[in-house]
Amino acid sequence: MLLAFGDSHRYPIVLEEIEAILRRQKPSLFVHTGDNYADFLRLLKKTKIPGYGVRGNCDRGVSAPEELLFDFHDFKIYLTHGHQYGAKHSTRQLVERAFELGAQGVIFGHSHVPLVREERGILLVNPGSISLPRRGSDSCYAKVYVKNNQLLGEIHKATL
């Protein structure tokens, strides 16, 4: 199982909450969808849990990838913040990029709105924002896992 976080925006209480979630859930991997990449680096160092992170539109001047492709069990996952693909308004370009890369799943952020949906056979997961949720959503994160050879995702409320 992997846990996905994003749009944490350097709030100390949020980092403490994410760290507590990681220690409690004990995922094999965690990802951060950007905004703030420094948060990802701190969590990686403090928890010693393997992870992947990308930079977002608020991570100016940061030397980090904008997108990554990684293996999770027998699936390829595409990780991006999503701002460069209009993720705040549509997932169409993200799905197209996933097809280009041969990915079966996309984990992205930027909108601060949680989402788990399948589109054209691609699992789309946006963990929302644990610090600045929008459109009436809660502070949350996502869990991605494999069950019966199927890639699945869930949104979980954080307890800030």
Element (H, E) at 2: strand 2-5
Segment 45-74 shows an average pLDDT of: 95
% of the chain beyond a pLDDT of 90: 77
CB 121 within 8 A of CB 137: no
Residue 91: what pLDDT? 95
Q: Assign residue 48 the CATH number of its domain.
A: 3.60.21.10
% of the chain beyond a pLDDT of 70: 99
* Enclosing domain of residue 22: 2-157
- Span 62-120, pLDDT tens digits: 999 999 999 999 999 999 999 998 888 899 999 999 999 999 999 999 999 999 999 99
- Span 134-156, pLDDT tens digits: 787 788 999 999 999 999 999 99
Prediction pTM value = 0.95
Nearest to 78 by CA among 60, 93, 62: 93
Residue 130: what pLDDT? 87
Nearest to 64 by CA among 91, 33, 85: 33
Q: How many domains does the chain have?
A: 1
The more confident residue out of 123 and 112 is: 123
The full length of the chain comes to: 160
Residue 103: what pLDDT? 99
| Confidence label for 45 from pLDDT (cuts 50, 70 and 90) | very high
CB 31 within 8 A of CB 79: yes
**pLDDT greater than 70 at residue 160:** no
